[in-house]
Amino acid sequence: MSRRSNSDTTDSMELLLDTVCNTFGAVIFISMLVAIMVSRSSSAHSSSKPSVDPALETAQILLEIETARDRVRVLGEQLRQQKLLRERFSTDESLALSQSIQHQTNDSVRFLQQKTAAVAEISATNSQRAGLQHQLQQQQAAFESSAAESKTLRQEMERTLETVGRTARIPQVRRTSKESVVFALDDSRLYRITTAGQTVDDTDCDRNLESGMEVLRPKPGGGVPVATNATSTAISAMTRRFDGLSASRHFVQIFVSRDSFAAFLPVKDTLVDLGLEYEVLITEDDSVELFLGQKTRDSFVQ
């Protein structure tokens, strides 16, 4: 199979060489014919144009012929070298290697195209994922905002319910004939002024004689702290202040300074839990001063 291919290639090269030689021969013949016709035309107009030296014209034609021959020799040598190269490298192994290289090149091109398509698809996927992530972040922000609003509304509702509950637990005001036990709420601290035995509690108050009258004031450092969000320990300490009181015999008369009215709600809740009636008296300033004397008015309790 290889020998037949080589013989076919040799025949083709010989035919090509013959064609090239015939072509240059025809070119030379046409050139000589043109030169003869030009020479005759020049002789017809010899009266008006100077005559051309025949020797010079012949030398020029011979030079063109020699140039054409050189070109033919160069082309023949090139064809011979191409023929040798083809015969040297046109074996079965070289053809198989060439085909293998061609297949690998095609595979590389196909792989590069697939890779480009995959990169484009990944880019599109990343763009879609970025868009979805942005939408998710917006939805998360909207959810957090809704959760915050819901929490705020729930807190407001709890405060409203707590306020309504406290208001609902306040009984109607009524006159009482029970014995009063005096307390004071000043600077958000609860002070016990008198005891269940109707004596002054020197632990929580100071006694001073002013203008012939005995004045009672909360003692600095005395009492127990009261807070709206008091712990169980603070509530227990506040509850112990009402030990010894009987709901059937006593009621709590509590004087509240204007700056401590917010702290009255925990005290009120404790009194309601203990079942004790109470009377609230608001002082005219931010301090509490009490004068010992005879009771001159009726008490109205809740």
37, 54, 59, 198 from 43: Cα distances, Å:
10, 11, 19, 168
Token look-up 């939805």 returns 139
Distance CA 204, CA 217 (A): 9
- The three-class DSSP label of residue 214 is strand
Buried b (16+ CB within 10 A) or exposed e, 107-135: eeeeeeeeeeeeeeeeeeeeeeeeeeeee
Q: Where are the domains of the chain?
A: 2-90, 174-301
Check: CB of residue 250 under 8 Å from CB of residue 181: yes
85, 266, 298, 299, 302 from 175: Cα distances, Å:
134, 24, 7, 6, 9
| Interacting residues of 216 by C-beta distance below 8 A, sequence separation 6+ | 193, 200, 205, 206, 207, 289, 290, 291, 292
Give me the tens of pLDDT residue by residue for the chain, a chain 302 residues long. Answer: 444 455 556 667 777 777 778 788 778 888 888 888 887 776 655 545 455 567 777 778 888 888 888 888 888 787 777 777 666 655 666 666 667 777 777 777 787 778 777 777 777 777 777 777 888 888 888 878 877 887 887 787 777 666 555 544 545 677 888 888 999 888 888 898 888 888 888 888 888 887 778 888 888 888 888 877 777 888 888 888 888 888 888 899 888 888 787 788 888 888 888 888 888 888 877 777 777 665 556 666 66
